Amino acid sequence: MNSNIDWLGINNANLYGFHGRHHNGVAAVNYYNSKVTDRRERYSFELTTEAIESGKTTKDRGYNKVENFFSDAQKATLLESKEWINKLVNENKHIKKRDQNMAFINQPILNIPNLYKIMFDEKIIDIVTAYFDCVPALTSVAVRKSFTSDAAPVNNQLFHRDYNSLVKLLKIVIYLNDVDINGGPFTYIEDSHKKIFNNWWHYHYIQDEVMKTIYGEDKIKHLTANFGDLLMADTRGFHKGLKPKTSERYAMHMCFLIHPELTGPGHQQETPPDKGFQIRKEDYESLPDNVKPVADYLVKI
């Protein structure tokens, strides 16, 4: 990769767009604008001061952390979720993917009881709404146990950008245990959601030394946190999960968008309505009416 960087400004459509040879920033921005306009017209909202401040911080640098976010009751639910993750991993049941580095739970909203109560927490919804300036929807959830091992880092343990959206997305990250620098923290390159090198769309996974050369080592932020804290990041910016060294990590990542997740060649196609993540109808029906739009892109079964 050429380290002579031609920075793309926030108003340049090339900051956005489809992956690889399909790259088209103008088409991506037009698609996003039509979707965000639709949701703004359909759903009204009011925001707390705390949500507005959190949204502002995240828009500015691409990530944020809110300490001591969860109540004692919510932390009890999260600890129950951690027990379920261990049970499913140990029994090798409802596992979507597993290797030496980590195990992913399949359809976690279905297979981990009461997890949906955390995901549709109204304080979280306020934060993601403040970031999008409209009510977004939950599109996917990744729940994983990351192992300590001698295996080389793979996939999301290397720097990359997400293509679930081509313009803007927000991931909420929740650790189910305290995570220090040796525990595999979520790692983000500050400002990379709005400042990126030209021809970025030709690359996917990128080595650390390349990122340090491009952005500077001071921009690489290891988001350590305690159990009970809340992390968030626009993962159109470069990020990875640092490989744990001394302790296993339990975490879940919730993806919020203003359109269905994108897939197919160049990530140009919407996920079909019946192929998304699933939630039980009775759990969906139990949600407050003002929260139900956040489940628009989930499959109710």
pLDDT digits (tens, 9 = 90+) for 46-83: 999 999 999 999 999 999 999 999 999 999 999 999 99
Could you name the CATH architecture of 7-300?
Sandwich (2.60)
pLDDT for residue 238 is more than 80: yes
Over range 24-52, report the average pLDDT: 94
Is pLDDT at 241 greater than 50 in this prediction?
yes
Side-chain-side CA neighbours of residue 122 (13 Å): 9
The pLDDT value recorded for residue 49 is 95
| Alpha-carbon distance values, 34 to 22, 107, 116, 259 (Å) | 20, 29, 29, 10
Phi first, then psi: give them for residue 137, nearest 5 degrees: -135, 150
End-to-end CA distance of the chain: 46
Q: Is the pLDDT of residue 203 over 90?
A: no
Q: Span 21-26, mean pLDDT?
A: 90
Inter-residue contact 46 to 130 (CB < 8 Å):
no
Q: Say if residue 264 is exposed, middle or buried (CB neighbours under 10 Å; 0-12, 13-18, 19+).
A: exposed
Q: Residue 248: its pLDDT value, please? A: 95
The rounded percent of the chain whose pLDDT value lies above 70 is: 98
pLDDT band at 5 (very low <50, low <70, confident <90, very high): low
Q: Which of 1-10, 81-90, 94-103, 178-187 comes out lowest in average pLDDT?
A: 1-10
CA 74 to each of CA 16, 67, 115, 256: distance values in angstroms, whole numbers, following the listed order: 36, 14, 10, 20
d(CA 255, CA 116): 13
Structure confidence at residue 2 (pLDDT): 47
What does the pLDDT read at residue 6? 65
Average pLDDT, the chain: 94
* Separation CA 78–CA 73 (nearest Å): 9
What is the pLDDT confidence band of residue 4, given thresholds at 50, 70 and 90?
A: low
Ramachandran area for residue 93 (φ above 0: left; ψ -120 to 50: alpha; else beta) = beta
pLDDT higher than threshold 90 for residue 10: no
Query: What pLDDT was estimated at residue 170?
Result: 98
Write the CB contacts of 222 (distance below 8 Å, at least 6 apart in sequence): 181, 185, 187, 242
- DSSP conformation class of 117: H
Residue recorded with tokens 């080592």: 217
Domain boundaries, the chain: 7-300
Residues in a beta bridge with 146: 102, 249
Share of the chain above pLDDT 90, in %: 83
Which region among 26-40, 190-204, 213-227, 242-256 has the lowest average model confidence (pLDDT)?
A: 190-204
The stretch 280-300 carries a mean pLDDT of 97
Output the pLDDT for position 152.
86
Residues 130, 50: Cα–Cα separation, whole Å: 10
Residue 200: name the closest of 160, 251, 240 by CA.
Answer: 160
